[in-house]
Amino acid sequence: MPNLDKYFARGGMRLSNFVVSTGVCCPARTSYFTGQLAHCNNVTGNAYDFMRGAGGFRKFWESKLDRRWLPTLLESAGYENSLAGKFLNYYYENASYFPANYRYKPLGFKSFDATTYRAYNQSDTCYSLNGAPCICHTGVYQTETLAQKARDVISSAAASRKPFFLTITPTAPHLAQDDTPGQWFAPEVQEQYRSLYAGEGVTVPKGANWMVAQPNIPRKQQLTYSRGYEAGLNSLYLARLRSLRSVDDMIDSIMTTLKDQGLLDNTYILYGSDNGFHLGAFGLNDGKNTPIEDDVRVPFFIRGPGITPGSVLPYQANMVDLAPTFLALAGLPIPDYFDGLPLPLMPRLQPAYATALGVTLPPGVPGPVLRDANILEGWNGDYIPIYLIQNSLHYKGVRICSGAKLLPDPAPGAAGGRDLMAKPGFAANQVYAPGTYCYKYTVWCQGNKELYDMSTDPYEINNQISTAPSRLLDRLDAVLSTLVHCRGAECRNPYRLLHKDGAVWDFAGTMATKYDTFYRTLPKLQLTECNVIYLPRKELTWRNPAGTFTS
Which three-class secondary structure string do you get for 449-506?
EEEEECCCCCCCCCCCCCCCCHHHHHHHHHHHHHHHCCCCHHHHCCHHHHCCCCCCCC
Determine the pLDDT at residue 385.
Answer: 59
Positive or negative: CA dihedral 390, 391, 393, 397 = positive
Question: Can you give the C-alpha Rg of the chain in angstroms?
Answer: 23
Q: Supply angle C-alpha 303, 306, 310, rounded to 5.
A: 50
Q: Which residues contact 283 (CB under 8 A, 6 or more apart)?
A: 211, 212, 213, 214, 222, 223, 224, 225
The ranges of the chain with pLDDT < 50 are 221, 424-429, 551
b/e per residue 346-377 (b: at least 16 CB within 10 A): beebeebbbebbebeeeeeeeeebbbbbbbbb
| 200, burial (CB in 10 Å: exposed 0-12, middle 13-18, buried 19+) | exposed
Q: How far apart are CA 106 and CA 121, in angstroms?
A: 24
Q: How far apart are CA 366 and CA 361, in angstroms?
A: 8
Q: C-alpha 133: how far from its chain's center?
A: 31
Domain boundaries, the chain: 373-409+431-540
Q: How far apart are CA 402 and CA 423, in angstroms?
A: 24
Integer angstrom CA distances of residue 75 from 105, 159, 164, 285: 14, 18, 9, 43
Determine the pLDDT at residue 427.
Answer: 46
Determine the pLDDT at residue 481.
Answer: 98
Determine the pLDDT at residue 392.
Answer: 78
- Is 413 strand, coil or helix? coil
**Dihedral angle computed from the Cα positions of residues 256, 261, 262 and 266, in that order, rounded to the nearest 10 degrees:** -80
Determine the pLDDT at residue 54.
Answer: 85
Determine the pLDDT at residue 424.
Answer: 45
Q: Which amino acid is at 269?
A: I
SS3 content of the chain, % helix, strand, coil (to 5): 30, 15, 50
Q: How far apart are CA 483 and CA 398, in angstroms?
A: 8
Q: In the chain, what is the straight-line distance between the N-terminal and C-terminal CA atoms, in Å?
A: 47
Q: How far apart are CA 44 and CA 28, in angstroms?
A: 9
Q: How far apart are CA 110 and CA 82, in angstroms?
A: 6
Determine the pLDDT at residue 428.
Answer: 46
Strand partners, 398: 375, 441
Integer angstrom CA distances of residue 128 from 81, 93, 136, 145, 374: 16, 7, 9, 13, 36
CB 119 within 8 A of CB 127: no
| 273, burial (CB in 10 Å: exposed 0-12, middle 13-18, buried 19+) | middle
Determine the pLDDT at residue 276.
Answer: 93
Peptide bond into 368 cis (omega under 30): yes
CB 126 within 8 A of CB 136: yes
Q: E strands within 380-428?
A: 394-402
Integer angstrom CA distances of residue 491 from 195, 249, 359: 47, 38, 13
Q: How far apart are CA 547 and CA 261, in angstroms?
A: 57
pTM of the predicted model as reported, rounded to 2 decimal places: 0.94
Q: Which helix (H) or strand (E) holds 277?
A: none
Determine the pLDDT at residue 551.
Answer: 47
Q: In the β-sheet with 269-272, what is the strand arrangement from edge to edge?
A: 269-272, 300-303, 13-15, 311-313
Q: Which amino acid is at 109?
A: F
Give the DSSP letter of residue 343. Answer: -
Q: How far apart are CA 314 and CA 23, in angstroms?
A: 20
CB 74 within 8 A of CB 109: no
Integer angstrom CA distances of residue 402 from 201, 373, 399: 39, 8, 10
